[in-house]
Amino acid sequence: MKLLFKLIGTILKLGVYACIFLTPVLGVWLASSLAAFSNRSTLLSVIAGVFLFPVLPLLWELWSSYKRRKLGKSSEQTLTWGDRLTIRTLVINFVAISGLLAWQPSTSFIALSTRGDWMLGAMQGQHIEVTRQSLFKIAGGLEWLYNALNKNPYEQYDDGSNKIKPEPQPNRKPIDLNPSKNAWAWDGQGLHPAIVNMQANVETSIDSVAKYIVSKESDPVLRVKALHDYVADRIAYDAESYFAGVYPPQDAETVFRTRKSVCAGYAQLLEALGKAAGVEIVYVVGDARTQTSDLSGQGHAWNGVKVNGQWYLIDPTWDSGYVSREKGFIKNYRTEYLMPPPEVIGITHFPKDPAWQLRANPINQGEFLRQPMMRPKFFADGLSLISPQRSQVDTKTDAVINLANPQKRWILASYRPKGSSGSQNCGQPVQDSQISCPLPNSGSYEVSLFTSTEAGGNFRYVGRLEFNKT
């Protein structure tokens, strides 16, 4: 029995030592992933890791021994040399990891989730993939820190009275991301006629507008489109409040009266219109990645709607136009975010409640961050991305994007240094399946894609990828 207890104690002790000595590895992984994400030298991070263990703990031990001898303390120490080295390693690396997390708490999770496998490069194989997924699973352990530091300001407008959740939909077929035609793209359809022809005397109340739409449209799908179109067309985005970070009341009645709001107001008004029209529409919150945001995105609010027994997602805010600091709100009605497939809207929208992903198999936040930031129009144009399959990748030469383009859309690419405002075209519009963008110098770049049916037509933004040129 004593031998058994001794064996268990030895195993536990070895386990503790292993965990302690793994802390330098975790520190190097975190530091190098942050370096890879920001296009800095990962080698320096590895060298720093060697310094943290064993160099710095050994130097600490030598200095401590020197001080003891100088002070004449020759008595035997309580802890062994190995125990002292272990504790010093733990303390030094705990301080180093804590410092990194305190320095860049949110970015740490993003870096580990998107570039935590940088050391695997382009290697393929079953064992490589298992290692890659294991690294990303470990990275998920920091999701709580990211969420704790990135509060969604639009959650406060959800009073919690609506407890509706979408039912599981196991029979939902996965969307074909390279279709020849998508009904959800609403190609060529403008504002619903009921919205175009609505008289001013109808717009006296939310109930009046809802009853008018119900009287003019009997088809349940088109009725939802009319409700969406009213909000997307009639409400102007409150760019001033958004950039100031101070929001006026966002309740449906206020938004209906002022005709101005941020995303919360758009979603609240659509929910209220749905209730008045007898359509099941709910308020959804989460993160969304925009054309101007980084990979993680920012707090946002949108809607879920139930049509013919099936749940869909709608974003009337993004379908109303866009904003810039220089010009404020620019009205630009469209239908990209009017009930697209879950796998499509789920590239840019990540709801707080996984049920509102409406996917048969919901993804986690790390998977969301790793998705290339393609918009619904990219898929509506029949395009599919072949490579890269990640939101951020490294390159030593040009930024190269391979895609399937069966409908021969004209594609224009532009690049800009990450964080800058000016962009330059990568060349002339092409109908090819490969886009090559010469990047002038080493650095981090955002490469944006635009499509059109004509070479000299109006090109619309369809997606973005990040390239780190080393």
* DSSP assignment of 110-155: HHHHHHTTGGGTT--SHHHHHHHHHHHHHHGGGHHHHHHH---TTG
Query: What's the CA gap between 37 and 35, in Å, rounded?
Result: 5
Q: What is the pTM of this model?
A: 0.88
**Residue 452 confidence (pLDDT):** 95
Query: What's the CA gap between 257 and 247, in Å, rounded?
Result: 16
Residue 423, exposed/middle/buried by CB under 10 A (0-12, 13-18, 19+)? middle
- Which positions ≥6 away from 182 have C-beta within 8 Å? 379, 380
Vertex 59 angle, CA 56 and 60, to 5°: 85
Query: What's the CA gap between 291 and 314, in Å, rounded?
Result: 18
**Residue 64 confidence (pLDDT):** 86
Length of the chain: 470
Closest by Cα among 28, 188, 191, 181 to 112: 28
**Strand 236-237 relative to strand 260-261: parallel, antiparallel, unpaired?**
parallel
CA distances from 345 to 64, 174, 290, 336, 381 (A): 59, 13, 12, 9, 15
Spans in the chain with pLDDT lower than 70 = 1-2, 4-6, 9-10, 13-21, 74-76, 160-162, 168-184
278, 270, 294, 296: CA torsion to nearest 10: -40
**Residue 172 confidence (pLDDT):** 54
Report the amino acid identity of residue 81.
Answer: W
Q: Are 262 and 237 in contact (CB under 8 A)?
A: yes
Report the amino acid identity of residue 64.
Answer: S
**Residue 18 confidence (pLDDT):** 67
The CATH architecture to which 155-371 belongs is Roll (3.10)
Residue 245, exposed/middle/buried by CB under 10 A (0-12, 13-18, 19+)? exposed
Query: What's the CA gap between 19 and 90, in Å, rounded?
Result: 9
| Domain positions in the chain | 2-149, 155-371, 381-470
Q: Which residue has the tokens 């320096």?
A: 44
DSSP for residue 326: T
**Residue 15 confidence (pLDDT):** 65
| Residue % of the chain over a pLDDT of 90 | 63
Q: 2.60.40.10, 3.40.50.720, 3.40.640.10, 3.40.50.2300: which CATH number matches 381-470?
A: 2.60.40.10
Q: Are 379 and 176 in contact (CB under 8 A)?
A: no
Q: Are 355 and 166 in contact (CB under 8 A)?
A: yes
| pLDDT tens column, 341-369 | 999 999 999 999 999 999 988 999 999 99
**Residue 180 confidence (pLDDT):** 46
211, 216, 219, 221: CA torsion to nearest 10: -70
Closest by Cα among 380, 342, 354, 367 to 462: 380
**Strand 424-425 relative to strand 410-417: parallel, antiparallel, unpaired?**
antiparallel
| pLDDT tens column, 156-177 | 888 766 677 787 665 654 444 4
**Residue 96 confidence (pLDDT):** 85
Which CB contacts under 8 angstroms, 24+ apart, belong to 72-79? none
**Residue 174 confidence (pLDDT):** 45
